[in-house]
Amino acid sequence: MPKLSFSGTTDVEKTEAPIDVTNASPFRPHRQESDQFTKAIFIGLGIVLFVFLGSMIAVLLMQAPKL
């Protein structure tokens, strides 16, 4: 059997550096910044809900005038 030359390296050592796949997602990264438009919508909905509840309480407290 012929002797093979030994270079001292293995196949693993000959390969290129591993590919960094930590940022390989096809999706957009989720931003931690708050969306100002969404925040304004929620504040507006809160005000509308507060006014609605106030008007319902006012309607429940109304009394018919005495004749």
Mean pLDDT of the chain: 78
**Residues above pLDDT 70, as percent of the chain:** 54
Rounded CA gap, 48 and 53, in Å?
9
Give the closest residue to 56 by CA, choosing from 64, 48, 46: 48
Residue-range domain boundaries for the chain: 35-67
Q: What per-residue string of b and e applies to 39-66 under the rule 16 or more CB within 10 Å gives b? A: eeeeeeeeeeeeeeeeeeeeeeeeeeee
Give residue 23's pLDDT band: very low, low, confident or very high (50, 70, 90): low
- Whether residue 4 is predicted with pLDDT greater than 70 in this model: the reply is no
Give residue 14's pLDDT band: very low, low, confident or very high (50, 70, 90): low
Give the closest residue to 45 by CA, choosing from 57, 53, 34, 33: 53
For 15-21, what is the mean pLDDT? 60
- Which helix (H) or strand (E) is 56 found in, with range? helix 36-61
